Structure 1
Amino acid sequence: MELLLPALGYFVWTLVAFLIVFFILKKFAWKPIISSLSEREKNIADSIATAEKVKLEMAQMKNENEVLMAKAREERSQLLKEAKELKDKIVNEAKEQAKVEASKIMADAQATIEQQKNAALTDVKNVIGNMVIEVTEKVIRRELASKTEQENYIRSLANELGTASRN
């Protein structure tokens, strides 16, 4: 049993050595150890707080980015819509201008056709008038005794002029 229980002298000297080491550690090492531990604990807490703050800022930035992206998409769709409307407007204006130009060209062509038709009718009337004058002249120059001879002569002249005008 002696092996299990130390002698009283060993016990006292161990206790005295422990107390001396305890007081030396308390006097010189305890404060620096505790201060470094508390400083480390403070640094860890600050790092955790900073990480949480950064995490919240990142979430906020992500939300802001999503809002900006949505706004950019909306602006893009608005710009595309405006561009399409502008394109349609320009195309419609070009069509209308083309229709106006075509109408003007058609009106000018019809006016030209009408002018040429009137000129042709005038020419035909002049030719017929000249033919009548020639026939009348020839009838008057030729003095015929009977009316039937005059009518036969007028018919022959009309036939003659009719064949000449066809050629």
Structure 2
Amino acid sequence: MDLVNPGFGLVFWTAITFLFLIVILRKFAWKPILGAVDSREKSIQKALDSAEEAKKEMQNLKADNEKMKQEARQERDAMLKEAQQMKKQMISEAAEEAAKKSDDIIAKAQTAIENEKKAAIHELRQQVAQYSIEIAEKVLKEELKDKKAQNKLVDRELEKVKLN
């Protein structure tokens, strides 16, 4: 036998063996292999679908997370604004209260000063009156030491009374 020119019998038996092998492979090997390939294809497709769902869910979570961050920022800004308004209000109230207290203190001080002034003027008038009386008394005592001066003073005062 020649390998270059195979005989009819060799080709016949090779074809029959090949067909027999195909039938046996088809019956026992192809169905399980195709089933495994099909099963593997389905599991890969299922994994891809799950990955796509997970990707969409991650995008939704990112969007929700971003939305929550934005809401948190807005809430923080609102709280800061409210705190600043409260601070301004407290400062304003404290300033008003301080102004009222200082006005009250100034009014009380002015009243006290006025009262002290009146008391000082009254005391000064009393002292001036007392000194005036003492001075007049000393002057009169000096003028009226002798009898002649007394008579002269009495005459002068009588003349004033008569003229009126």
What does residue 31 of structure 2 align with? 31
Unpaired stretches in structure 1, ≥5 consecutive residues: 152-167
Q: How does 1:92-103 map to 2 (within 5 A)?
A: 92-103=92-103
Partner of 1:85: 85
Other-structure match for 2:111: 111
Matched residues, number: 149
Q: Report what 2:151 is aligned to.
A: 145
Letter paired with 2:63? N
Runs ≥4 in structure 1, deviation > 6 angstroms?
none
- Per-residue displacement from partner, 1:23-73 (whole Å, max 9, x unpaired)? 111121112101100110001100110011011011111111111111111
Per-residue deviation at 1:7? 2.1
Map of 2:73 onto structure 1: 73
User: Which one is further off, 138-147 or 41-50?
Assistant: 138-147
- Measured after TM superposition, the shift of residue 108 of structure 1 is 1.3
Residue 62 of structure 2 is aligned to residue 62 of structure 1: yes
Unmatched tracts of structure 2, length 5 or more:
158-164
- Shift of the 9–121 alpha-carbon distance from structure 1 to 2, 3 Å rule, reads same
CA RMSD of aligned residues (A): 2.5
Q: CA deviation at 1:133?
A: 3.5
TM-score by length of 2: 0.80
Match of 1:125 in 2: 125
Q: Write the deviation string for residues 109-131 of structure 1: whole angstroms up to 9, x where unpaired.
A: 11111111011011012112223
Q: CA deviation at 1:134?
A: 3.2
Aligned pairs for 1:15-26 within 5 A: 15-26=15-26
The residue type equivalent to 1:75 in the other structure is: E
TM-score w.r.t. length of structure 1 = 0.79
Q: Which residue of 2 aligns with 1:161?
A: none
In structure 1, distance between residues paired with 2:151 and 2:98: 70
CA apart distance, 1:15? 1.0
Of all paired residues, the percent bearing the same amino acid is 38
Counterpart secondary structure, 2:16: helix
Q: Secondary structure at the match of 2:46?
A: helix
